[in-house]
């Protein structure tokens, strides 16, 4: 099992990126959360099987059709198993 923390930079707010992430997570069986940051980035924490997280990360690198992802900062974290679903959190 694997846990990642992701920061997505670029034109990633106001184009449905959080909902895209939620749909992809539900499709793949990933759990965790996504939110917009006041800095203009999208932040995510995701947990799941190694292969599934790898696919999820690749989807976040592309984003939805209107996104212009410029950079993705990926940090590996210790797997905790704390989530039951994938949620959209309020902007922080």
Q: What is the pLDDT of residues 30-82, one digit of tens each?
A: 999 999 999 999 999 999 999 999 999 999 999 999 999 999 999 999 999 99
Residue pair 2/77 in contact (Cβ under 8 Å)? The answer is no
Residue spans of the domains in the chain: they are 2-77
What are the C-alpha distances in Å from 71 to residues 5, 42, 51? Answer: 14, 11, 21
Note if the pTM is more than 0.85. yes
CATH of domain 2-77: 3.30.70.100
Kindly list the catalytic residues. 18, 36
pLDDT of residue 92: 87
Separation CA 53–CA 74 (nearest Å): 11
User: For the CA atoms of the chain, what is the radius of gyration?
Assistant: 12
DSSP 21-85: HHHHHHHHT-EEEEEE-TTS-EEEEEEE-HHHHHHHHHHHHH-STT-EEEEEEEEEE------SS
């Amino acid at each position: 099992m694997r846990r990642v923390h992701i920061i997505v930079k670029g034109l990633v707010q106001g184009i449905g990126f959080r909902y895209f992430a939620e749909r992809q997570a539900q499709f793949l069986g990933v759990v965790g959360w996504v939110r917009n940051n006041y800095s203009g980035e999208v932040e995510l924490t995701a947990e799941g099987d190694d292969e599934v997280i790898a696919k999820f990360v690749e989807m976040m690198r592309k984003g939805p059709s209107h996104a212009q992802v410029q950079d993705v900062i990926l940090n590996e974290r210790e797997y905790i198993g704390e989530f039951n679903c994938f949620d959209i959190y309020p902007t922080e």
